[in-house]
Each structure stands twice: as C-alpha cells, then as structure tokens.
Amino acid sequence: MSVLARSVGNAFRNKVRTAAVVAVLAVAIGLALAMLVANQAVGAKVQELNASVGTVLTVNPAGGQGFEGGGEPLTSEQAATAAGVPNVTAVVGTKALRLRNAAEAAAQAAAGQTGGPGGGQGGPGGQSTTTLTTSLTAAVDAGSLGNRNQAGDGTTGSTGATQPARTLPITATGIGAEVDSTGKALELMEGTGLGDYAADSAKALLGTTLAEKNNLKVGSTFTINSKTFTVAGLFDAGTTFGNNALYVTLPAAQTLAELPGELSTMIVTVNSMENVDSTKTALQSALGTDKADVTQGQRNLETAVSSLDSVKNISLVAFIAALGTAGLIILLIMVMLVRERRREIGVLKAIGAPNRTIGLQFVLEALVLVALGSVVGAAIASFASGSIASALVSSSTGTTTATAGQRGPGLAGAAGGFPGGVPGQGGPFGGASQLLTSVTASASPGVIAAGIAAVFGVAIIGALVPALLTARIRPIEVLRGE
C-alpha cells in the first residue's frame, strides 16, 4: 500500500468526522471561490466601463451646450490653446448644424410658423448652431414630444389644433476626425470615412435610418442648402436619435454655416485616466472660465468605477480571508489528527518510517480533505457567486447609483429630446446605473481552477506545520500506555 493509498484510507477513517470537516472546508472554499469569481467579474466590468468612457473631456462655450444656452462660440484658436495643455493628446473640433427639409420649411414659412421666440424652428437659444435646408427628410416622426418641443412658445402641451404636423430637424455635425460627438470612433456599417477631415469636402456619413428613410446608399447624393453632398458611408450610432444624423468634415460645416473658424464643441482626449482631473483643471484655466465650460463625461461613471473598485477590493480581501480560513481549518484539523495519532506515528517510527514519509502521509491526507472540500465548494461557488456578486455590488454602489441616476436621466434627456445636444451623448451617461447593476458573475472553469490552485497552495502550507510536528514525536510514544 503506497503512502497515497494510506493517506486516502486515513482520510476516511472516521466517516462522520470526515463529512463534518469536508462540510466546513466546502463553505470556506466555496466562499473563497465565490469571492474570486466576484472579483474577476467586477474587475472585468471596471475595465469595460473604463474602455467605454475613455479619457475624454468635452469643451462647450461657457453658458451653452448643444442647442441650448448662450455665450460666445468656441474658436479654432481656442482649439490650438487646448492642444497645448499638458497631457492632452488630441483635440477634435465639431460644428453642429440643424437641417430642415426644404419643402417642409417652405410650407411652414407660408403657414407663418417661423416667428417663435428664440429663433422659431431654430429652437430656443441655439447660440452656435445654424439652421439650413436640405433635400433629406428626417427619419424620426415628431410625435407628441416633437410637437411639444417645437411649439412656438416653448412650453409644454401647446400643440395647437390648427397647426400642420411638424417634422423633426436633422442634426449635421462637422467633425475634425472620424469620431462621433462624444469622441468615440464611428462605427461604419458601409462605405468609407470622409478621408481628409481638414478639407472642405462634399462627402458625408449618414446614419443608417436616415439613409433608409431617404433611400440613399453609399454613392448617392443629397443637398444641404444648394450644395450637393455624396454619401461616403453609413454609420450606426446605436440609437434611433443618433441614426437620424449625418457627419461632414469640419471645414464643410463651417462653410455651410458661413462661420469659418467657429466651433460648437471640442473633444479633448487626455493621455490617461489618472491625468483627467488635473488636465481638466489646466484646460479650464487655459481657456478661461468665462469662455468655455469643460466637462468630464465620465465623472458619474468614475464615481461608479471607484465604487466598483471598492467592491473589487472587498472581494479580494474576502477571498484572501476565506482562503486563510480554509488554511487555518486544515492546520487545526491536522494538528488534532497528529495529536490523536501520536502513538501510531510512534509505531511507524519504531518500524523504521522516515520523518519525511510520515509528514508526506499527513500532507496528502490533508489534500484529500481539501480536494473533497473543493469539489463541494466549487459547486457552492457556481450557484452562489452570482448572488454574492450582485449583493456586493448593490450594497456597495447603492448610493453611487442613486447619485448617477439623478444626473444620468437629465443628460440622457438632453441628448434624446429635440432641443438637446448631439447624437449619442446620452449613451454612456444615462446608462451608468444600468452598467453598475449589470455585473454578471459566472464561475468560469479558469477562475475556479485558479481559485482551487490557491486553496491547495494554502492547504499545503497549513498541512506542513502539523507534518513537521510529526518529526518531533519520538518513537517511544509507541510504548505509551503499555
């Protein structure tokens, strides 16, 4: 009979005790594995959030945002100033235009609907936007919200029974690089980009639903004011509002608006997350607080990420604590067994067993118990890890989620409503609370295997101490009681 076979036999010597030890170990190991799974899941979510938000700062004119507010427009000179701020890696200027279908605009003008305050169809405020006509028809019906938002008095519910049905405008954005107005790369479904974004070209990228509504494909043409543009590509912004939009090069938009050098926003990319705060301060200082508002798109998510980081740290500490507990259980059990079997150890020594053989026998016996505990623990972890991760996240991020929720819907509304800013802006902001609660912890074989390897490592350490104790037992113990 080999040492291993003897160890296995010894592990099952007292079946009731073995079952009790395995049960206790399984709880500790299961908790350790569940914490590891939660840690991995939260870590992955943090990475996902960081990747989704990036390191982008948005600069708007002081007192204005999108088609709202007032103040002075941004300029190309300010873009150059922003580019000179330390840690800034890129500055992309945008110029937002509001397009009206030419035929509908003429009909509404004839019906006398253009005299509303704040610029009528131009919407209230609109400090840096320009309303132009186009051959395109908006892909989104006005509906109740559109009619209400476009009402002449700018208040709710005043649609007027005699007024003809309204249509939504189309947002055209001039961009200095192939990114959307939040700084994320455009996801082109067909065609190519605009090529040289610094050139006043006649190419445009259309949202998929806008192209479909107007039966346009790559290579088709349409007009803005009297200028003909060719569809170079189709993009998918992921939202209905976002896809009712088009992009042209920044110089083309500035030419259409007859406002050369004027910018609606600047998208500033910082070299790392750690430098975002300091760069924001430096950028605000360089541009002047009375000239520009610098906003950090990920502020809410950063708080959320920080909260998730806390969960990650808590789960790591809990994993280590549970691992330590498993090791301690093994240590105590094996010390108890060594004390209980002093005489038997004496017998083995009396008949010539070397210390290392006896020690190995006890280590292997401990590992047999740990193996059984790991099997049950892995089963516990696979069932419980999801609930534990959710409980950890919800308890730790409850306050943060509430905070994000207060601001999130407002921003989402700004993007989704008619007078709002630019397409896609609401995505990563308004979805913060959903992102937080969507942490999915699944016990992958790799994570479980890594956790069990760690458990075995700790168990070996825990079993070595009692195994070394066996070396101190003298063979004369065999005569104890004789």
* Residues engaged in binding other proteins (CB under 8 A): 1-2, 6, 9-10, 13, 343-344, 346-355, 357, 474-476, 478-479, 481-482
> Is the CB of 10 or the CB of 182 nearer to other proteins?
10
DSSP 88-112: EEEEEEEEEEEEEEHHHHHHHHHTT
Output the smallest distance, CB 370 to other proteins, in A. 20
Rounded CA separation 365/299 (Å)? 53
Spacing of C-alpha 382 from chain mean position: 24
Output the smallest distance, CB 448 to other proteins, in A. 33
> Is the CB of 291 or the CB of 349 nearer to other proteins?
349
> Is the CB of 234 or the CB of 348 nearer to other proteins?
348
Output the smallest distance, CB 25 to other proteins, in A. 21
Measured at the CA of 297, the angle between CA 123 and CA 49, to 5 degrees, comes to 130
- Which has the closest alpha carbon to 363: 344, 385, 337, 343? 337
Output the smallest distance, CB 385 to other proteins, in A. 38
Output the smallest distance, CB 348 to other proteins, in A. 8
DSSP 72: P
Total length of the chain: 482
Under 8 Å between Cβ of 227 and 256: yes
> Is the CB of 28 or the CB of 478 nearer to other proteins?
478
> Is the CB of 199 or the CB of 476 nearer to other proteins?
476
Output the smallest distance, CB 338 to other proteins, in A. 15
H/E stretch holding 427: helix 426-430
Output the smallest distance, CB 356 to other proteins, in A. 10
> Is the CB of 13 or the CB of 217 nearer to other proteins?
13
Under 8 Å between Cβ of 264 and 81: no
The stretches of 299-354 forming alpha helices (DSSP H) are 299-340, 342-350
- Which has the closest alpha carbon to 323: 33, 89, 40? 33
What burial class does residue 469 get, using C-beta atoms within 10 Å of its C-beta: 0-12 exposed, 13-18 middle, 19+ buried? middle
Cα dihedral 313, 317, 322, 325, rounded to 10, equals: 180
Which amino acid does the sequence have at 145? L
Under 8 Å between Cβ of 385 and 30: no
Rounded CA separation 160/191 (Å)? 43
> Is the CB of 80 or the CB of 468 nearer to other proteins?
468
Positive/negative CA dihedral, 204, 210, 212, 216:
negative
Rounded CA separation 316/303 (Å)? 20
End-to-end alpha carbon distance in the chain: 28
Output the smallest distance, CB 469 to other proteins, in A. 15
> Is the CB of 347 or the CB of 371 nearer to other proteins?
347
Output the smallest distance, CB 476 to other proteins, in A. 4
Cα dihedral 202, 207, 209, 214, rounded to 10, equals: -10
Rounded CA separation 451/322 (Å)? 11
- Which has the closest alpha carbon to 319: 458, 466, 439? 458
> Is the CB of 148 or the CB of 349 nearer to other proteins?
349
DSSP 479: G
- The tokens describing 81, both together, are 């100033």
> Is the CB of 161 or the CB of 351 nearer to other proteins?
351
- The tokens describing 303, both together, are 């708080």
> Is the CB of 350 or the CB of 375 nearer to other proteins?
350
> Is the CB of 217 or the CB of 474 nearer to other proteins?
474
Output the smallest distance, CB 479 to other proteins, in A. 6
Output the smallest distance, CB 471 to other proteins, in A. 9
Under 8 Å between Cβ of 364 and 464: no
